[in-house]
């Protein structure tokens, strides 16, 4: 069955690794991510944005994740990524989702606290964990677009107060990463991350990890990031392989054939990111296929 992220992130925090959170969009992406995680013995988080749920349907995504969680022995969580409406969160909680992110980072601090606290009370009643964000990442995540001028870093002192007042289970921090493709080489504020880590007990979350070097990601893991979000780095090879197949086979019409190379291309990146997070081999590899 699907799990919440509390125990998996606490184990990652204790043992110096991170759990990868891969954005999913459809059957194929769920298959690739969970099959690869199971083969490598890694816990994994399937993250879905409001845009994904609008495209595929909350019940469909929920059912896909539940099927994967039944099939494989590794812990699998379905996580609501960058949700802003309590109504949407409640719908998924009722369906059985056990991990949610409420993103009220665009509001003033006090309002952010109030919104997050309400979600925490609601989600905890369902046995679900809550991630929230303080500070704002630039870039684009589906329909969420934040200009560089509107982005700002997480203040360590404010982070401590935020965690204490909201009761969240994990904190997404803004330290120089961004969503989507980077226009220039990112410069991460690791000193800021270290100070946040010293002040905050809950696991930290690194958003915008696509395009960050493995060495930089692993530095962030050493400084308390127990969940690493990856989206763009999966979408590009999937799309490129699909385009390449159609260029070579313009007559193709069978999705069972043209999806396969795209899935293989994505699987290679999923495996690479799992190893980057050092989450491979954390769970005994015993597939439970009925």
HEC secondary structure over the chain: CCCCCHHHHHHHHHHCCCEEEEECCCHHHHHHHHHHHHHHCCCEEEEECHHHHHHHCHHHHHHHHHHHHHHCCCCEEEEEEEECCHHHHHHHHHHCCCEEEECCCCCCHHHHHHHHHHHHHHHHHCCCEEEEEECECEEEECCEEECHHHCECCCHHHHHHHHHHHCCCEEEECCCCEECCCCCCCCCCHHHHHHHHHHCCCCEEECCCCCCCHHHHHHHHHCCEEEEEECHHHHHHHHHHHHHHHHHCCCCCCHHHHHHHHHHHHHHHHHHHHHHHCCCCCCCCCCCCC
Judge whether 82 is annotated as a binding position: yes
Judge whether 254 is annotated as a binding position: no
Q: b vs e for 28-49, b when ≥16 Cβ sit within 10 Å of the residue's Cβ?
A: bbbbbbbbbbbbbbbbbbbbbb
Measured over the CA atoms of residue 173, residue 19, residue 68 and residue 179, the dihedral's sign is positive
Judge whether 70 is annotated as a binding position: no
Judge whether 207 is annotated as a binding position: yes
> In the structure encoding, which two tokens stand for residue 229, read together?
């979000």
Judge whether 209 is annotated as a binding position: yes
Judge whether 133 is annotated as a binding position: yes
Judge whether 211 is annotated as a binding position: no
Active-site choice (81, 142, 169, 280): 81
Judge whether 212 is annotated as a binding position: no
Give which of 130, 50, 126 is closest to 83, Cα–Cα.
50
Judge whether 79 is annotated as a binding position: no
**What is the Cα Rg of the chain in Å?**
18
Annotated catalytic residue 59: no
Instruction: List binding-site positions for Zn(2+).
Output: 82, 103, 133, 179, 207
- The residues annotated as belonging to the active site are 81
Instruction: List binding-site positions for dihydroxyacetone phosphate.
Output: 180, 208-210, 229-232
Instruction: List binding-site positions.
Output: 82, 103, 133, 179-180, 207-210, 229-232
């Amino acid at each position: 069955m699907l799990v919440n992220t509390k125990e998996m992130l606490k184990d990652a925090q204790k043992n110096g690794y991170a759990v990868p959170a891969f954005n999913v969009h459809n059957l194929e992406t769920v298959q690739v991510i969970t099959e690869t995680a199971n083969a490598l013995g890694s816990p994994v988080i399937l993250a879905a944005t409001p845009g994904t749920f609008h495209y595929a349907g909350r019940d469909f995504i929920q059912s896909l994740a539940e099927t994967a969680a039944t099939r494989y022995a590794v812990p699998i969580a379905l996580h609501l990524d960058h949700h802003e409406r309590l109504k949407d969160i409640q719908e998924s909680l009722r369906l059985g989702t056990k991990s949610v992110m409420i993103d009220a980072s665009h509001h003033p601090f006090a309002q952010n606290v109030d919104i997050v606290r309400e979600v925490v009370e609601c989600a905890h009643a369902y046995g679900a964990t809550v991630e929230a964000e303080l500070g704002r990442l630039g870039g684009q995540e589906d329909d969420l677009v934040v200009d560089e001028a509107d982005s700002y870093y997480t203040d360590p002192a404010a982070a401590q107060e935020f965690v204490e007042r909201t009761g969240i289970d994990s904190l997404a921090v803004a330290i120089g990463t961004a969503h989507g493709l980077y226009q220039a080489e990112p410069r991460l504020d690791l000193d800021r991350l270290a100070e946040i880590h010293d002040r905050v007990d809950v696991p930290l979350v690194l958003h915008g990890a696509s395009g960050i070097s493995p060495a930089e990601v692993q530095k962030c893991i050493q400084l308390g990031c127990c969940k690493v979000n990856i989206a763009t780095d999966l979408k590009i090879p999937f799309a490129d392989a699909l385009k390449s197949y159609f260029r070579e086979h313009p007559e193709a019409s069978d999705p069972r054939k043209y999806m396969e190379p795209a899935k293989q291309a994505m699987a290679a990146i999923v495996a690479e990111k799992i190893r980057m997070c050092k989450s491979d081999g954390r769970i005994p590899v015993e597939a439970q296929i009925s």
